[in-house]
Amino acid sequence: MTVVLDKSIVKQALRELIQEEPALFKKMLIETFIEEVKSSQDADFEALIRKNFARYEETFKALA
């Protein structure tokens, strides 16, 4: 079940969090950034693997 949140409610809640718990908000922001960077790096690595498999496809077939 998906719950749709009103963006204005979320914005207000985030403003309150920033005012009341700035350290927690900072920690959450850093964690989100780190996850995004890791996800981007994983996608880049997967693209590189696919590129190399395509590049050496004939070699792999010959070895099989």
Domain ranges of the chain: 22-63
Phi, psi (deg, nearest 5) at residue 56 = -105, 20
Please give the C-alpha separations between residue 32 and each of 26, 49, 50, 59, 60, in angstroms, as whole numbers: 10, 26, 27, 41, 39
Q: What is the pLDDT of residue 64?
A: 79
Q: What is the pLDDT of residue 26?
A: 94
Higher-scoring residue by pLDDT: 1, 47: 47
Question: What pTM value is reported for the model?
Answer: 0.58
Question: pLDDT tens-digit profile of 7-58?
Answer: 999 999 999 999 999 999 999 999 999 999 999 999 999 999 999 999 999 9
Q: What is the pLDDT of residue 46?
A: 94
